[in-house]
């Protein structure tokens, strides 16, 4: 064998067990028994977890030209942050530019990732134009190994084209493509923005009022009904509120294939952050909510009604976030999270006893791998699976300092937090790619992960 990881507590679907892991040819070759190998890693007193699968990141920018988005990280800096945080596979949102079809944007992002990504990767093509060509491409792309599309209910264009979007979801159901839905209602938000401007309440502290829970609730309820109508597997991205989670719980009770993703900030932070002098740095879409929403989401992670915790990594520099030209109606949304996803969730979730070890592995790795057709190559530690492993040190304690981390954002919204539980060694396809936060993998090392069409887990 190439590599033996000795004496660690391996977390598999069957639960934690102290055993040796043998790796050969980039795959898990043996669990237990006598492992003879060229190289050894001592994992005594540590956990051995499947590498994180973060199904929701933004490492390419959607459009060029005036007013365009330009997030701080590209595939190189973003995936370097990922490896330092124990994430070995990412799912990137691939945006077509103006006048392009989904397949054009995808082709560009596949080439970009092939040249620059340090982690393995897959892509979610964003469906901006559900015209006949766009709908045809859902099937073509699924057949080519890209069985997912992203839809934004939050864009005004959605409400102008609900019927063709439903046609798109029917096609997705036919070809086994998962539909990722950003659930916020554009009319409610437009109405709130107008009101805030009229009343002169545009300071960033009013950001939560600009995108209220009602906007998320009604869009999530619509998404559930669209799922029921079309049969498309529906993955609600970055769900933030108790009300929206309840809509999804009801849907699951009806037997619908509705899956919930939440995002670290909705578990760890609440809306009082916007009262801080630099509160704009916490802006994401949806906004931070109340403690009652946080409690509901933690309960959802613990009881399985939340399937995944993914980053929505979409970083800006602090100067860009705090740009005084912006107000509560147009703050820059998103933040760096790839390096902190697993450690902060461990620290706040596993170390505190809120969630079990098994749930931690499910929401950071296994469930995303299953929903997006990567399992069992990714998302588990089993013979034949890719040897994507994190030797996890549950006692390592660090104070977060974004200026020393790998994202080009240069800061973290957790700066100053003491976080307990960090990767000691990160392994991708059998190779050590990071020791602690020191990343040794080269850009372009990452590979596109083959995907299967959606099957109900
Ligand atoms: Zn996103």
Distance from Cα 284 to the centre of ligand 1, integer Å? 9
pLDDT of residue 61: 72
Using CA atoms, how far residue 159 sits from 130, 156, 187, 227, 444, in Å, is 12, 6, 9, 17, 40
Distance from Cα 57 to the centre of ligand 1, integer Å? 6
pLDDT of residue 158: 96
Distance from Cα 315 to the centre of ligand 1, integer Å? 11
Query: What are the phi and psi torsion angles at 136 (to 5°)?
Result: -60, -40
**Mean pLDDT across 150-179:** 97
Distance from Cα 311 to the centre of ligand 1, integer Å? 8
pLDDT band at residue 451, thresholds of 50, 70 and 90?
A: very high
Distance from Cα 285 to the centre of ligand 1, integer Å? 8
Distance from Cα 247 to the centre of ligand 1, integer Å? 21
Distance from Cα 377 to the centre of ligand 1, integer Å? 25
Distance from Cα 140 to the centre of ligand 1, integer Å? 24
pLDDT band at residue 65, thresholds of 50, 70 and 90?
A: low
**Mean pLDDT across 199-223:** 97
- Indicate whether 349 pLDDT > 70: yes
Distance from Cα 314 to the centre of ligand 1, integer Å? 7
Distance from Cα 235 to the centre of ligand 1, integer Å? 12
List pLDDT tens digits, range 410-426. Answer: 999 999 999 999 999 99
Q: Spell out which residues have Cβ within 5 A of ligand 1, the ion.
A: 312
Q: Which among 116, 120, 122 has a CA at the least distance from the CA of 77?
A: 116
Distance from Cα 2 to the centre of ligand 1, integer Å? 38
Residues 6+ apart with CB under 8 A from 59: 71, 73, 74, 75, 78, 79, 90, 92, 113, 117, 313
**Mean pLDDT across 144-157:** 97
DSSP structure class, residue 365: I
Distance from Cα 323 to the centre of ligand 1, integer Å? 21
Q: What is the pTM of this model?
A: 0.97
- Indicate whether 179 pLDDT > 60: yes
Distance from Cα 56 to the centre of ligand 1, integer Å? 6
**Adjacency order of strands within the sheet including 3-6:** 27-31, 21-24, 3-6, 39-42
**Mean pLDDT across 10-27:** 92
pLDDT band at residue 457, thresholds of 50, 70 and 90?
A: confident
pLDDT of residue 15: 83
Residues 6+ apart with CB under 8 A from 199: none
Residue with tokens 């073509």: 140
Distance from Cα 53 to the centre of ligand 1, integer Å? 15
**Mean pLDDT across 22-26:** 98
Distance from Cα 237 to the centre of ligand 1, integer Å? 7
Extract the tokens encoding 355.
């969630």
pLDDT of residue 99: 86
Q: Please, what is the average pLDDT of the chain? A: 96
pLDDT band at residue 13, thresholds of 50, 70 and 90?
A: low
Is residue 20 within 8 Å of residue 35, measured between CB atoms?
A: yes
List pLDDT tens digits, range 329-339. Answer: 999 999 999 99
């Amino acid at each position: 064998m190439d590599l033996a990881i000795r004496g660690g507590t391996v977390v598999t679907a069957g639960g934690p067990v102290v055993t040796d892991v043998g790796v050969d040819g980039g795959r898990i070759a043996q669990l237990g028994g006598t492992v003879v190998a060229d190289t050894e890693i001592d994992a005594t007193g540590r956990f051995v977890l499947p590498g994180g699968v973060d199904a929701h990141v933004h490492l390419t920018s959607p459009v060029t030209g005036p007013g365009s988005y330009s997030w701080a990280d590209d595939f190189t800096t973003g995936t370097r942050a990922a490896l330092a945080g124990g994430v070995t596979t990412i799912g990137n949102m691939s945006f077509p530019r103006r006048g392009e079809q989904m397949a054009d944007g995808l082709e560009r992002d596949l080439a970009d990732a092939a040249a620059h990504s340090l982690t393995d990767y897959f892509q979610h093509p964003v469906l901006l134009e559900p015209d006949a060509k766009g709908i045809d491409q859902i099937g073509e792309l699924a057949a080519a190994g890209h069985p997912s599309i992203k839809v934004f209910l939050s864009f005004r264009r959605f409400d102008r084209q609900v019927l063709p979007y439903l046609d798109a979801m029917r096609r997705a159901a036919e070809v086994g493509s998962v539909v990722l839905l950003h659930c916020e209602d554009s009319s409610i938000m437009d109405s709130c923005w107008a009101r805030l401007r009229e009343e002169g309440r545009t300071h960033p502290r009013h950001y939560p009022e600009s995108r209220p829970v009602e906007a998320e609730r009604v869009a999530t309820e619509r998404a559930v009904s669209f799922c029921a109508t079309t049969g498309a597997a529906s993955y609600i991205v970055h769900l933030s509120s108790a009300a929206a989670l309840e809509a999804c719980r009801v849907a699951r009770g009806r037997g619908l294939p509705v899956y919930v993703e939440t995002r670290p900030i909705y578990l760890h932070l609440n809306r009082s952050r916007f009262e801080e002098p630099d509160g704009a740095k916490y802006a994401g879409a949806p906004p931070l909510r109340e403690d009652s929403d946080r409690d509901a989401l933690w309960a959802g992670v613990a009881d399985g009604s939340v399937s995944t915790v993914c980053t929505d990594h979409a970083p800006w520099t602090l100067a860009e976030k705090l740009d005084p030209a912006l107000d509560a109606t147009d703050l820059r949304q998103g933040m760096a999270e790839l390096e902190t996803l697993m450690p902060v969730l461990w620290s706040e979730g596993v170390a505190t006893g809120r969630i079990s070890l098994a749930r931690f592995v499910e929401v950071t790795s296994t469930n995303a791998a299953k929903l997006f057709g990567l399992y069992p190559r990714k998302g588990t530690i089993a013979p034949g699976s890719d040897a994507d492993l994190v030797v996890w040190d549950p006692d390592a304690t660090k104070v977060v300092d974004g200026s020393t981390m790998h994202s080009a954002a240069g800061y973290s919204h957790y700066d100053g937090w003491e976080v307990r539980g960090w990767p000691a060694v990160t392994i991708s396809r059998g190779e050590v790619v990071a020791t602690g936060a020191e990343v040794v993998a080269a850009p372009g090392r990452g590979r596109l992960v083959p995907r299967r069409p959606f099957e109900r887990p």
